[in-house]
């Protein structure tokens, strides 16, 4: 797992509520002011050495869709993300999703393939290059 400028790692899932998604990726602080890893970090075994909260982006859509362009239309570098993923998955995914978590400049080594968020699957979908 590592910092990799120009790469973005993506997780797709379903969640009934945008607040749940926000809480899932939220980093809290303890009484000493030390950071407490988010549930997302714990679930996918990502630590603070390689994690930059400022490079995390989430999308929440009210209605699930299997269209990559629909899911990623508001993402940073959406054009390159969509074309890279469509090369791999085709224009539509096997199942519909309504959330995407993106971590830029980061290549996840797939220690954990999927986790549960809101009682449903959150799945690591791969890393793609968004800029050279």
Domain boundaries, the chain: 2-129
Can you tell me the mean pLDDT for 76-99? Answer: 94
Residue 54's φ and ψ, nearest 5 degrees, are: -70, -20
pLDDT score at 1: 54
CB 8 within 8 A of CB 81: yes
d(CA 22, CA 26): 6
Q: How do beta strands 56-67 and 114-117 pair? A: unpaired
pLDDT higher than threshold 60 for residue 97: yes
pLDDT score at 48: 86
């Amino acid at each position: 797992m590592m910092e990799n400028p120009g790469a973005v790692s993506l997780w797709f899932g379903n969640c009934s509520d945008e607040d749940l998604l926000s809480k899932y990726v939220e980093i809290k602080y303890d009484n000493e002011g030390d950071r407490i890893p988010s549930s997302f970090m714990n679930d996918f075994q990502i630590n603070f050495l390689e994690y930059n909260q400022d490079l995390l982006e989430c999308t929440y859509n009210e209605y699930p869709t299997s269209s990559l362009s629909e899911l990623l239309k508001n993402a940073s570098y959406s054009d390159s993300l969509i074309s890279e993923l469509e090369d791999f998955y085709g224009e539509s995914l096997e199942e519909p999703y309504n959330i995407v978590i993106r971590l830029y400049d980061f290549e996840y080594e797939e220690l954990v393939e999927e986790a549960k968020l809101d009682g449903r699957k959150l799945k690591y979908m791969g890393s793609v290059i968004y800029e050279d």
